[in-house]
Amino acid sequence: MSEPMVWLTIFVLSIFVGIEVISKVSTTLHTPLMSGANAIHGIILVGAILVTGFAHNTGQLIFGLIAVVLASINMVGGFVVTDRMLQMFTRRKPRAKELTHE
Amino acid sequence: MSSTPTWVQLIYLACAVCFILALKGLSSPKHARAGNLLGAVGAIVAVVTVFFAADINHLVPILIAIAVGTVIGVIGARKVLMTQMPQLVALFNGVGGLAAAVVALLELSDRVGHGGEPKFDLAMTAFTILVGTVSFAGSMLTFAKLQELMTSRPVLFPGLPVLFGLAIIGALALAVFVVTDPMVWIGIALGIVGLALGVLLVLPVGGADVPIVISLLNAFTGLTVAAGGYVLGNTVLLVGGTLVGASGTILTKLMAAAMGRSVVNIMFGALKGGSTLGAG
């Protein structure tokens, strides 16, 4: 299998996994799920680190570092705010407390 | 990237599984918090791994930049009022989209002048620049609407559909130029048109519908990250981005259905003459 075909295969299968895995979400979890998914695409931080790490001139370095800051905000802020939203659920349902570390 | 060592690819695979389980957990009230934590663990492991996987220069500035972003993100997420969470998610989504667009622009600036770049790579780069900037500008506008920095009513003016159409044609033309004749300034022009498109896309949407638009832009950013992953040859970006793109699209449909509306109606209902609040 050629390399582009491998990538296409991963892409298509990931689409189906992404659709399937959230298809039974309850209405109350719509916003936390959106927020959690938002945090996951903060993984662009890996890409930002790669391009900045290979920057050849000052311009590339500066813009790379800006991308690193933005992606870190997306990733870290995203996971923290999702956790805060979900704390509201755990307070109402103490049973779920055993799942957390706090 | 065929030069990526096997152990790195294995870790990336584990991180991708973390993301799948995170989305699965987030879909059930019982496991939502554990799911989110698992997603965070996967993301942190992927980020740490990249420092060992490749010869990263400028290590100190990069670590400082991560620290700065982390502090801003944590403070924003901790200080925000419960009622303001949707607009904070919009902000986070927007900066993620802009980060992806900047990464793609830098990749483009690295590739010009070499010649013989695979056309599909350049097409994916153009896609990331365009959709990333659309997501950024659109998200900032949703933030402004929810934060009441501007009117939350649909904003319409004569000629908006024409302007929107022209912007799409301009974006497609510039995207074709990026592929046929890659130059950095064309990429930047494409990004500027993307910013305009994002604004024009969100202006006609009414305040009550804005959360659904945020979800849609979230899916957009996911797809830009996936395309960026293809260009950089990074599987964790491809899988993570695609998962968010697919689940975000379905979530957008579910959210619209919960309001008894269709996504097309929410996005373009006001353009057809009806109010986005009353239609459907």
Quick check: B131 contacting A, CB < 8 Å?
no
Mean pLDDT of A73-91: 91
Nearest-angstrom CA–CA distance, A51 and B20: 26
Nearest-angstrom CA–CA distance, B7 and B13: 10
At B273 the pLDDT is: 58
At A60 the pLDDT is: 96
At B245 the pLDDT is: 98
CB contacts of B224 in chain A (<8 Å) are 44
Mutate to test the interface with A, among B70, B89, B131 (most CBs of A within 10 A): B89
Two structure tokens written together for A97: 């407390």
Residue A98 has pLDDT above 50, yes or no: no
A94 CA: distance to closest CA in chain B (Å):
10
- Tokens 């969100």: give the residue: B202
Contacts of A53 (CB under 8 A, 6+ apart): A64, B54, B55, B56, B57, B58, B59, B62
At A93 the pLDDT is: 52
Domain positions in chain B: 1-79, 83-272
Over residues B225-271, the pLDDT tens digits come to: 999 999 999 999 999 999 999 999 999 999 999 988 899 988 888 87
CA nearest to A69 within chain B: B69
What is the residue range of A67's domain? 31-102
Quick check: B226 contacting A, CB < 8 Å?
yes
Q: What percentage of chain B exceeds 90 in pLDDT?
A: 81
At B270 the pLDDT is: 80
Mutate to test the interface with A, among B24, B28, B74, B251 (most CBs of A within 10 A): B251
Interface subset of B 5-64, CB within 8 angstroms of A: 15, 19-20, 22-24, 26-37, 39-40, 43, 46-47, 50-51, 54-59, 61-62
The CB-based long-range contact list for B22-26 (8 Å cut-off, 24+ gap) reads: B22/A36, B22/A40, B23/A18, B23/A21, B23/A22, B23/A33, B23/A36, B23/A37, B23/A40, B23/B243, B23/B247, B24/A21, B24/A22, B26/A22, B26/A25, B26/A29, B26/A32, B26/A33, B26/A36, B26/A37, B26/A82
- Is residue B112 classed exposed, middle or buried when 0-12, 13-18 and 19+ CB atoms within 10 A define those classes? middle
ipTM: 0.93
Residue A97 has pLDDT above 80, yes or no: no
**Distances in Å between the alpha carbon of B40 and those of A78, B96, B97, B188, B207?**
9, 16, 19, 32, 31
At B56 the pLDDT is: 93
Q: Please, which pLDDT band fits residue B278 given cuts at 50, 70 and 90? A: very low
Which of B40, B222, B234 lies at the smallest CB-CB distance from A37?
Answer: B222
Mean pLDDT of A33-41: 97
Q: Please, which pLDDT band fits residue A89 given cuts at 50, 70 and 90? A: confident
Over residues B108-132, the pLDDT tens digits come to: 998 887 767 889 999 999 999 999 9
| Lowest model confidence (mean pLDDT) among B61-65, B91-95, B109-113, B121-125 | B109-113
Which of A38, A51, A86 lies at the smallest CB-CB distance from B218?
Answer: A38
Please report, for chain A, how many H helices and E strands are present, in that order. Answer: 5, 0
Which of A38, A49, A77 lies at the smallest CB-CB distance from B62?
Answer: A49
Quick check: A8 contacting B, CB < 8 Å?
no
Mean pLDDT of A61-65: 97
Residue B16 has pLDDT above 90, yes or no: yes
In a domain, A23, yes or no: no
In a domain, A86, yes or no: yes
At B276 the pLDDT is: 45
CB contacts of A66 in chain B (<8 Å) are 65, 102
Q: What is the CB neighbour count within 10 angstroms for residue A5?
A: 9
User: Based on the structure, what is the number of domains in chain A?
Assistant: 1
* Pairwise pLDDT comparison (A79 vs B55), residue with the higher score: A79
Contacts of B248 (CB under 8 A, 6+ apart): A34, A37, B215, B216, B218, B219, B220, B222
Cβ-defined contact of B245 to A15 (cutoff 8 Å): yes
> Which helix (DSSP H) or strand (DSSP E) does residue A7 occupy?
helix A3-21
**Distances in Å between the alpha carbon of B249 and those of A19, A93, B27, B114?**
8, 29, 15, 37
Closest CA to B244 of B263, B228, B267: B228
Alpha-carbon Rg for chain B, nearest whole angstrom, is 19
Positive/negative CA dihedral, B73, B89, A53, B43:
positive
At position A60, the amino acid (one-letter code) is Q
Over residues B173-231, the pLDDT tens digits come to: 999 999 998 999 999 999 999 999 999 999 999 888 999 999 999 999 999 999 999 99
Residue B34 has pLDDT above 80, yes or no: yes
At B156 the pLDDT is: 87
